[in-house]
Structure 1
Amino acid sequence: MSLSVPRGTTLSIVGESGCGKSTLAKLLVGLVAPTRGTLRYGRNRKGGVLHPQMIFQDPYASLNPRWRVGNIVAEPITTLGLRATPAETRRRVDELLELVGLSASDAGRFPHEFSGGQRQRISIARALATEAEFLVCDEPTSALDVSVQAQILNLMGDLQKEFGLTYVFISHNLSVVRHVSDSVAVMYLGRIVEQAPADQLFDSPQHPYTRMLLDTIPDLDDPRRDRERMGGEVPNPISPPSGCTFHPRCGMAREQCKVEAPVVVGVGGRQLRCHAVTWDVVRAA
């Protein structure tokens, strides 16, 4: 796959469970080494190496329960030598906690004393403690109540505007994705099958898998609307189908799809990997 994320924007990755979204997130932050290919990052604003950081899905498991919050947030500052003295580190921790909507006095408390939303705020503060400009967000709101999800998303949006942060946002919640994204990449069995600006993708999806995903969004104004139904489960990624890996579930599949893997083609400002859609565009031209 090939992805690029312009500075200060949000690229969302969507797809069914098991398609490789979380593996991609781990690759981006170096938790998993790529078996082939390369990752290239631009420079940060100071001209140094851009180091991505990750906000994990589960705020209950991603924080050390034996450490006080102040120590959790201070660890990357100390490890990277971002402040010269312990006093400066403590001041920076206080600043970060207040930045994410907590209090400086919370530094002395343990993670179990906080709600899920507050814990995710601590996770965000820890990521920002590295002075990172590129954050990989692996379903950061999926474990939270709906009202708390909105608060965390608003916080992330405010931080992005204030500091020019760049996000890769991974989520199952397509309504959230539409709200936060500048562009969206649809992933199936480890490959990006469609990538487009968010409004363009949601208003006019082209790939049959994208249409299938969007049909899962409830429509309160038209609950009985016609939907594109596709059966089957995601195939085993260790032994994927030949040709286009989506062809066993696709109503548009033809013989070519079973034997030849589609290449990425630019169509109307988006990137598509689909024989049927590409063939229709060529025929229309």
Structure 2
Amino acid sequence: MFMRMLACGLLLCLGGAALADPGACRDINVAFHQVGALYYRAPDGGWTGIDKDVVDELGKRTGCRFLPSLESRVRIWTMLAGGKLDMSMSGIATPAREKFARFIPYFATRNYALLDQSVPASASTAEGFLAAREYKVAVVKSYKHGAAYDLWLDKLRAQGRVYEAADFPAVVRLLKIGRVHAILALPVSWVPILKREGLSESVRVLDWAPREHLVHGLIVSRERIPVATAERMAKAIESMRNDGTLLTIFKRHIGDELASGLLNY
């Protein structure tokens, strides 16, 4: 009887220790959003992309189980700010966002301007486009595009020349049907979708902000995810960078030419 009670007491103590372990990793709800090579439909109908592969590898290295969902970018930020979501991917840190989330970098890039071929040379610079009031641009609502582009967009918004869509496929559709004449996009966004939508020959890709450097990271809720778990994920990302796993993932989805540049963060 004494031995049975002792064994039960040990089990309770061990169970309590496990629950109290700050490094223990519970299930984590991670929301993806459909955008370019980051998260997209594969030919077989399943979901694939850089962000999915990164999360799958995080699961292997951290022992965490990630439960995926698909949401719009606007809804993702709303849920994170309201403490109703554990985590999302490919976010850009701002002072306001860092109040409710931690950011763990895993790639860096910058936006490019994608102009319809009908736009004349006189409007093929940021200043020229701004001066030609008949031309419009589409962006994903709530996206941050970098200081130079965000200032440019504010000027266009004041003139009613910015369409804001819920996701990147909707932005591309606006360009394809001629509702707008330009969109802003990252290489991880435009490389696959221009080919898929048959726009590669009808769009010019212009680098209007070569000095911009946008670092994208895992977006981890401060309210819902313990610091120890966030640190575990950060160590896993660092090991993925050091052993070449991140580069392999990037090459798989956007090719060798652009992949290595994503590691400059």
TM range (shorter): under 0.3
If asked which structure has higher relative contact order (CA below 8 Å, sep 6+), I would say 2
Normalised TM-score (structure 2) = 0.26
Q: Considering fraction of residues, name the structure with more strand.
A: 2
Normalised TM-score (structure 1) = 0.24
Q: Considering fraction of residues, name the structure with more helix.
A: 2
